[in-house]
Structure 1
Amino acid sequence: MSWVILTGRNSDLEQIDTPHKIITNRDYLAHPALFRGQRPKVINLSNTYAYQSRGYYASLLAGSRGHKVIPTVETMIDLSERKLYENALPELETALNKCRKDLGGAFPAKVLIFFGIGPSKAWDRFAKLLFDWFRAPALEVTIKDSQQWASIHKIGLHSLARLAPEDKPRFLAGLETYTGREWRDSRTRTPARYSFATLVDPHEELPPSEIGSLRHWARIADKMGVEVEPITRRDLAKLANYDALFIRETTAISNHTYRFARRAQQEGMPVIDDPLSMIRCTNKVYLNELMAFNKIPVPPTVMIAGPADLQLAADTLGFPLVLKIPDSSFSRGVKKASTFEELKTLAEAWLEESDLLIAQKFIPTDYDWRVGVLGGQPLFAVHYLMARHHWQIVNHKANGKPDQGGIKTFTLKEAPPHVVETAVKAARCIGDGLYGVDLKETKDGVFVIEVNDNPNLDHGCEDTGEKDEVWVRLTQWFLDRLDRQGR
């Protein structure tokens, strides 16, 4: 059972209105064993959410029973007094006023937002942000509009019993959208112990995992009592309905992936990638210093903070050398300079974007080792071959189409022990999550090029050597942390 809807009275919502289980809050409170062994997601549609009311206790006890619920008692308390939610008003009012043009220039005195959806598309920006702040089925916002600026007078929870007949169809549509699922298996099966969210962008050109690979993981996780469901950047407000988060979009500190990671961490959810790993892995300056401090071999490196450092880089590293912007991914922001003039031209342009650059000795190889490390233990080992007629594994061509090299797979037993051991040591410096360590194997030894959060993991590629054990261990990583929390 996935969803349970609580009402104040049997007549508040007809079973024909939704495919989900409907019970009264009285029955939910009186029968704690009703959902024993299950982990339903509860939508509390009680007639009142006042302190110590049945609606209040239903959400309070849902937490003690390990059930995900909206609204939580924290939301109820936050919305009980204006002074408790004043810190949210500046951001909300800015979003509200950006809707003015699409609304035709004037705001109504009140607006109802159902599950983060407004009365029309013009309200989208504001409605989604409001639901991000206060996850509740129905919110009533009272607006004061001076024509130049609309301010929020009050935000309150709106009960199902108070819905006008003309608003009910929109409410039910919002409910259907909110509880809608992809990857649903229609056959009867044992209820899942846990539900994991996977953050994806269906339109990303080079995603760390293809949708087909995530479907493969979902089938394996299902056998371990876990539902795996896709979410997108629009679903931040739904994140608390899940038990764990696996981010399968290219991560960046400056975009929504970091916000999702932070929110998951705040909710006490196991998350890959966690915010600290993202911060550490996305910056090559930090990585280089960290590896050097822990005596992990890296290519000879020179930090460039300005034009004065260019000659030092040239004298120390020789040509060709590799110049990198600290925060980059998929071989972007990484260029080879064959002469001092090339280095100077490239560095001057990039120093306008970043205060620091990294110059490293060019180490030509036909492939890079990629060793996946999960929870401080090796997960997979592959060769990423260089793109055709190029010195990197991805060649970002002028026409905008990336050209990728091939992949050669190994079992962990087939991979050289010193490569795997170096990769594990490097990953453990970052954290306890999932990392992809890139290394170059040369006659002079093994060098760590970088440690990646958000590494590629695709069925038929990285998992070829260890087969489904890769996905089983990934699922178990989350389960171990959930069980440790007693969730």
Structure 2
Amino acid sequence: MSRLVIVVEKPSDWGSYYPSDNVVAAADYLRGDVGAEGERTQVINLCRSYKYMGTGYYVSLLAEARGHKVIPSVRTINDLRRRSLYGVDIEDLNAQLGKFLPEGSRDASDFGLLVYFGRTHYAPLEDLAQQVFETFPCPVLRIEFERQRVWQIAAIKPASLHTLTDDQEDAFAEALDAFSKKLWRKPRARRKYRYDLAMLQDPDEQMPPSNRKALKQFIEAGKALDIEVDPVGKRDFARLAEYDALFIRETTAINNHTYRFAHRAEREDMVVIDDPVSILRCTNKIYLHDRLRSRKLATPRTEIVFRDDARKLEALPDLLGLPIVLKIPDGSFSRGIHKVETPEQLKAAAEQLFQHTALLLAQEYLYTEFDWRIGVLDGEPLYACQYFMSRGHWQIYDHAPKGGAGKGAVRSGGFKTLPVREAPSEVVRLALRASNAIGNGLYGVDLKVAGDRTVVIEVNDNPSIDAGVEDAYLGEDLYLRIMSEFLRRLERKRLGVRD
């Protein structure tokens, strides 16, 4: 459990709120270490200014030197100070403003918005406020907007507690309470674990990487190794720094919160699986194909097709033969993939998929009854599975089964889990080479054996680990092995040893 320390520049800045032992003056914080030795401490720096080498700057600087988690961090302070730097970070946010502020929604050509710990009372911009806070974690931010042809963010600036009006003070207090709820609450009488691990999950995800029973198994395995595994969701981004490690058990993508979680965890020097580099390398099939090809690893014959290259599209049957498999770069669980058997089907499928991407992956079709999946952890084989094609379908997952339960119905084929030693040696060797091209995390390498050819289909950074499937041979030991790798990395980190 973390201790919360709220630092204000002058005691009068807290005058509108109830006195609290958690609130200390900046001078007192700077004079000595606040918190017992080894106690996890979260510092909220509410100084009036974060000017370089000013009081607020030194509060964050010394907090980091003392091993305290502080908001804002020195990096955030510097990023906000350098407009040229944060201008790059907010490019995506600017692109989204048209959705949040449609033309004609406001008559003004500029306006400002206060954001308290990622929260705002202006409903159309709630999501944007949260994203700005995730990019620049700072207690109070003022976002300034301007409109020329379109709305865009003109500036993002820290705001001071002592400048708030009564209504704004109420909004700040409400946001602070929500942000610090876990830290404010009275600690339960419970065992104190050596390490705390955040396990990111989405209970509402239709096809999560781990089912509920598997998630419980990870929690139990963590307990056995003195690691508390705490399930968290995307709304817990601001709390991430409280933990020692992050384990992502939610389908990853570069353009959603899973990547932001991984990137933030890495910046906080946490142990993280999946790490952001692995997510980047695995979630885009074009990037992955290029990386595997550069390592001279066997893959199906593949061509990259550009949206405006009609000549290349027409040439695909001669280059790859028919049928051809067309893939969007960021599909998962067999989504965004079409098998085409005629030039007409090829053209129609490409037109449909090019609505979502500028490039497509086209591959030769290799028929097999099942795909191999080799689980790899830190460069070592972990489990071996055979995933069979869905009945009457050419893929493992059929997203439009006949007689299905309607929209969203998904049917999958059977599976067989076996000891790694019983998998063909050439399959395991190629899987290890492919995973080594990505990193040293947890991967699921998909391969096909067609005739005398063994090829890599893809490497998954966030492999499925479901109770009753991938653990069918190893059982509880599968979860213990993964948690043991977290423990090994946490111990090495504590000793200052880098992998």
TM-score w.r.t. the length of structure 1 is: 0.78
**Structure 2 match to 1:328:** 331
Tell me the SS of whatever aligns to 1:335: strand
* Structure 2 residue 371 is matched with structure 1 residue 368: yes
Label 1:189 to 1:441 Cα distance change in 2 as closer, same or farther (>3 A). Answer: farther
Label 1:244 to 1:110 Cα distance change in 2 as closer, same or farther (>3 A). Answer: same
**Structure 2 match to 1:390:** 393
What displacement does 1:156 show?
Answer: 3.2
One-letter amino acid of the structure 2 residue matched with residue 380 of structure 1: Y
One-letter amino acid of the structure 2 residue matched with residue 280 of structure 1: R
The within-5 A match list for 1:231-380 is: 231-234=232-235, 236=237, 238-288=239-289, 290-292=291-293, 294-301=295-302, 314=317, 319-339=322-342, 341-343=344-346, 345-347=348-350, 350=353, 353-365=357-369, 367-380=370-383
The within-5 A match list for 1:143-292 is: 155-159=157-161, 166-180=167-181, 187-210=188-211, 213-234=214-235, 236=237, 238-288=239-289, 290-292=291-293
How far apart are the structure 1 equivalents of 2:96 and 2:337? 37
Tell me the SS of whatever aligns to 1:116: coil
Structure 2 alignment gaps of length 5 or more: 402-406
* Structure 2 residue 424 is matched with structure 1 residue 423: no
Label 1:32 to 1:466 Cα distance change in 2 as closer, same or farther (>3 A). Answer: farther
* Structure 2 residue 63 is matched with structure 1 residue 59: no
Tell me the SS of whatever aligns to 2:475: coil
How far apart are the structure 2 equivalents of 1:259 and 1:153? 22
**Structure 2 match to 1:6:** 6
Stretch moving more, 416-425 or 188-197: 188-197
What displacement does 1:26 show?
Answer: 5.8
The within-5 A match list for 1:394-405 is: 394-397=397-400, 399-405=407-413
How far does the alpha carbon of each residue in 1:268-322 deviate from its partner, in whole angstroms, 9 at most, with x for none?
Answer: 4443333433333234445445445545443455666666567875467655454
Aligned residues of 2:47 and 2:160 also touching (Cα < 8 A) = no
Task: Tell me which of 434, 448, 453 is aligned to 1:440.
Answer: 448
Structure 1 alignment gaps of length 5 or more: none
Aligned residues of 1:2 and 1:39 also touching (Cα < 8 A) = yes
One-letter amino acid of the structure 2 residue matched with residue 459 of structure 1: A
What displacement does 1:405 show?
Answer: 2.0
Tell me the SS of whatever aligns to 2:420: coil
What displacement does 1:118 show?
Answer: 1.8
Aligned residues of 2:368 and 2:449 also touching (Cα < 8 A) = no
Label 1:107 to 1:348 Cα distance change in 2 as closer, same or farther (>3 A). Answer: closer
Aligned residues of 1:38 and 1:192 also touching (Cα < 8 A) = no
Task: Tell me which of 447, 451, 456 is aligned to 2:459.
Answer: 451
Stretch moving more, 114-123 or 252-261: 252-261
How far apart are the structure 1 equivalents of 2:348 and 2:447? 28
Aligned residues of 2:366 and 2:450 also touching (Cα < 8 A) = no
**Structure 2 match to 1:408:** 416
Label 1:172 to 1:217 Cα distance change in 2 as closer, same or farther (>3 A). Answer: farther
What displacement does 1:234 show?
Answer: 5.0
What displacement does 1:393 show?
Answer: 0.9
Aligned residues of 2:368 and 2:450 also touching (Cα < 8 A) = no
Tell me the SS of whatever aligns to 1:170: helix
What displacement does 1:467 show?
Answer: 3.0
Task: Tell me which of 103, 124, 127 is aligned to 2:126.
Answer: 124
Aligned residues of 2:329 and 2:359 also touching (Cα < 8 A) = no
Aligned residues of 2:117 and 2:133 also touching (Cα < 8 A) = yes
How far apart are the structure 2 equivalents of 1:90 and 1:26? 38
Aligned residues of 1:369 and 1:439 also touching (Cα < 8 A) = yes
**Structure 1 match to 2:70:** 69
Label 1:226 to 1:105 Cα distance change in 2 as closer, same or farther (>3 A). Answer: farther
**Structure 1 match to 2:404:** none
Aligned residues of 1:245 and 1:270 also touching (Cα < 8 A) = yes
Label 1:45 to 1:35 Cα distance change in 2 as closer, same or farther (>3 A). Answer: farther
What displacement does 1:207 show?
Answer: 1.8
**Structure 1 match to 2:138:** 136
Label 1:169 to 1:472 Cα distance change in 2 as closer, same or farther (>3 A). Answer: farther
Tell me the SS of whatever aligns to 1:392: coil
Stretch moving more, 404-413 or 254-263: 254-263
Label 1:24 to 1:193 Cα distance change in 2 as closer, same or farther (>3 A). Answer: farther
Label 1:392 to 1:185 Cα distance change in 2 as closer, same or farther (>3 A). Answer: farther
One-letter amino acid of the structure 1 residue matched with residue 399 of structure 2: H
TM-score w.r.t. the length of structure 2 is: 0.77
One-letter amino acid of the structure 2 residue matched with residue 375 of structure 1: D
Label 1:348 to 1:65 Cα distance change in 2 as closer, same or farther (>3 A). Answer: same
RMSD of aligned alpha carbons: 4.5
Aligned residues of 2:246 and 2:270 also touching (Cα < 8 A) = yes
What displacement does 1:461 show?
Answer: 2.8
Task: Tell me which of 467, 471, 474 is aligned to 2:479.
Answer: 471
One-letter amino acid of the structure 2 residue matched with residue 455 of structure 1: P
**Structure 2 match to 1:461:** 469
Tell me the SS of whatever aligns to 2:368: coil
What displacement does 1:134 show?
Answer: 3.1
How far does the alpha carbon of each residue in 1:429-455 deviate from its partner, in whole angstroms, 9 at most, with x for none?
Answer: 222222111123455353322222221
